[in-house]
Chains A and B, each alone.
Chain A
Amino acid sequence: MTAVVVVVAIVVAVATYLTWLARRLDRLGVRVDAARGGLVAQLGARAEAAAALGASRGLVQLAAAAERSLAGHAAPRAGAPLDTAVEETENELSRALRAPEVATAGQGAPALLHAVDSASAKVALARQLHNDAVRDLRALRGRRPVRLLRLSGRRPLPAYFEIDDALPARVERRETGGPGPGAPVPSAPAGAGAGPPLGQEVRDRVPGPAGAPDDMPDVLPKTGS
């Protein structure tokens, strides 16, 4: 009799635990999807802003990069993964936006230039939220009970989205060396920054999956443990 009670108790406990894990997985899946949708929307907004600036100031290369970026968004909008092809097109657009002639020509259309810079900052933000969500989901998917019991079914492991979204040097940062997308200072004179792009510095400072092995759920080093 007691044996039956113990067995039933164990079964109930295990079932509760697994249900709870499955619910966490579901919730994280919803979060990853939402973050991905937000990221695709922000990439679209950036490409449109870039296209508008390119068309208005006759910046042929920028306009072309923006067109390629917009064309590349059709598949992800329909649910296709944000793959390396998308990453490459977006990197091209980032580079085109940092070209010195964009800052120069942008002085003639400060509102359009500001729109592009603010859309670029939001892309960086959306990408960070997306990769944070992916990291949390991958961490849970890497847990032993989830893997052994295939609690996440056949769903593919979501991938990080890695692009160079460093903001042009003309976008001033509030704190020296601060990470994150930063805020464009409203009074910043367009094209004032002549220094190199902040790419490397930002990459070094933003904690994230950059450079982490793909199959490692725990991508950040734990210190102090």
Chain B
Amino acid sequence: MRIGLACPYTWDVPGGVQAHVRDLAEVLIAAGHEVSVITPADDSDALPPYAVDAGRALPVPYNGSVARLLMGPVSAARVRRWLREHGFDVLHVHEPTAPSVGLLACMLADGPIVGTFHTANPRSKILTAAQGALQPSLEKLRARIAVSEAARRTIVEHLGTSAVLIPNGVSVAAFAGARPLPGYEVPPAAKGGPGRHTVCFLGRIDEPRKGLDVLLAALPDLARRVPDVRVLVAGPGDAAAVRSRLDPRLRGRVELLGLVSEEDKARVFASGDVYCAPNTGQESFGIVLLEAMAAGTPVMASDIDAFRRVLDDGRAGRLFEAGEPARLAAGLADLLLDEAARAELAASGKALVASYDWPVIAEEIVDIYRLVSAGAGPVSLASSGADG
């Protein structure tokens, strides 16, 4: 199939939507499809061969953070040319509610169009206000996909339409079989016997909602129960500030790695006996939990809605009451001291994550492509470019 993907956010800036579009494009190409991505980019030379530059995006304050958006005559001309040159069987636009390339492509094209909604925003006044203006474009979408239950609820409530739930994928192969970081290898002979127990954490260290403070507050109690415990922390933020808040007697147990690369992320999971996700809210989907499961590391996570869903209500990972260090310490100690329970969780995690593996997810998306493009002609330019 000839598939066009429209990505709304600057390709060179790390982000969930960009990663989703990149992974999807690469899996589709590997499956033999012809794929082209159009995206804003800061450096068009750094784009992969399958991507086309739509221009530079403008930073705009939106929704409490800075969104980099793109809508203008130059990018409209580039999107139009991209559509004309490729003659796609299906056009897949991402985040079609954001004023960027996704919406632009949707406005300019006609035919089999699929849209994926990523954002979960329960009280977006902007989205509600914009519904009337967006409707002419959104009604062109022959299928709507939401990547999480929260994202689905957002579009049901704000745009008055339904969506098919297809979650983000995980590249299981990239996480399975990673080597632990130096200093965290456990010789097979020592496994199960007395050894050092490691809890790993991933995420911004100075973002309260990621919950590192909950984990560090649980550490004194945890260290009493598991005397050889240590904590491996990977993620950007002010390390000195975190260290200064720690009890000096516990500092030796905590290693702060700072920001790590994708490959090292897999190795961080491989270094932990347990992966801990103490987030206190604001997560719409627990992709990082799935990555830990793909690496074969048992998960201990707070019981926020998104995590409870991903962990199948505690069957694929342990849950504790969000924001309660005492519960976390007890739960981690139980898990660290119970080799059999960890092995069991690792196995159920592996089984669960298999249904989120990118090739499986991409196949579900291709099913939708087939459904909307069967009998329809290729994607064409809308009869009058300017309107919706």
**A residues apposed to B, CB below 8 Å:** 20, 23-24, 27-28, 31, 34-35, 37-38, 41-42, 122, 125-126, 128-129, 131-133, 135-136, 139-140, 174-181, 183, 185-187, 206-208, 218, 220, 222-225
Contacts and interface: CB of A to CB of B under 8 A. Distances in A.
29 contacts: A23-B383, A23-B387, A24-B388, A28-B139, A34-B112, A37-B375, A38-B371, A42-B371, A122-B367, A125-B371, A128-B162, A136-B161, A175-B167, A175-B309, A176-B312, A177-B309, A178-B165, A179-B149, A179-B152, A180-B164, A180-B166, A181-B164, A186-B360, A187-B354, A220-B156, A223-B157, A224-B123, A224-B157, A224-B158
Interface in B333-357: 351, 354-356
Nearest to B140: A27
Contacts of B351: 187
A14 B152 CA distance: 37
A175 B165 contact: yes
Given A34-B376, A125-B164, 9 more contacts: A34-B375, A35-B142, A37-B374, A41-B374, A131-B162, A139-B160, A175-B167, A179-B152, A208-B162
A175 B310 contact: yes
A181 B105 CA distance: 28
B282 interface: no
Contacts of B215: none
Interface residues of B, number: 45
Interface in B147-172: 149, 152, 156-158, 160-162, 164-167
B226 interface: no
B375 A220 contact: no
A25 to B, nearest CB: 10
B154 to A, nearest CB: 11
B167 A174 contact: yes
A74 B110 CA distance: 30
A181 B308 CA distance: 20
A125 B372 CA distance: 11
Contacts of A208: 162
B139 A140 contact: yes
Contacts of B152: 179
A139 B107 CA distance: 19
B207 interface: no
Contacts of A207: 156, 161-162
B234 interface: no
A15 B157 CA distance: 33
B313 interface: yes
Interface string B375-387: 1100000011001
Contacts of B355: 174, 183, 185-186
B149 A178 contact: yes
Contacts of A24: 136, 139, 388
B252 to A, nearest CB: 40
B165 A206 contact: no
B143 A129 contact: yes
Q: Which of B143, B162, B167, B351 has the most CB of A within 10 A?
A: B162
Interface string B114-128: 000000000101001
B368 interface: yes
B149 A175 contact: yes
Contacts of B354: 185-187
A132 B152 CA distance: 14
B269 to A, nearest CB: 21
A135 B140 CA distance: 13
B144 interface: yes
B44 to A, nearest CB: 33
Contacts of A225: 128
A125 B367 contact: yes
A129 B156 contact: no
B138 to A, nearest CB: 8
B372 A34 contact: yes
A4 B152 CA distance: 51
B321 interface: no
B238 interface: no
Interface string B190-205: 0000000000000000
B160 A222 contact: yes
B144 A132 contact: yes
Interface string B271-313: 0000000000000000000000000000000000000111011
List the 5 closest pairs (A to B, CB-CB), nearest first.
A220-B160, A136-B139, A207-B162, A180-B165, A207-B156
B364 interface: yes
A199 to B, nearest CB: 18
Contacts of A135: 161
A140 B388 CA distance: 14
Contacts of A183: 355, 360, 364
A34 B125 CA distance: 33
A14 to B, nearest CB: 15
Nearest to A137: B139
Q: Which of A20, A132, A187, A222 has the most CB of B within 10 A?
A: A132
A65 to B, nearest CB: 24
Nearest to A140: B139
Contacts of B158: 224
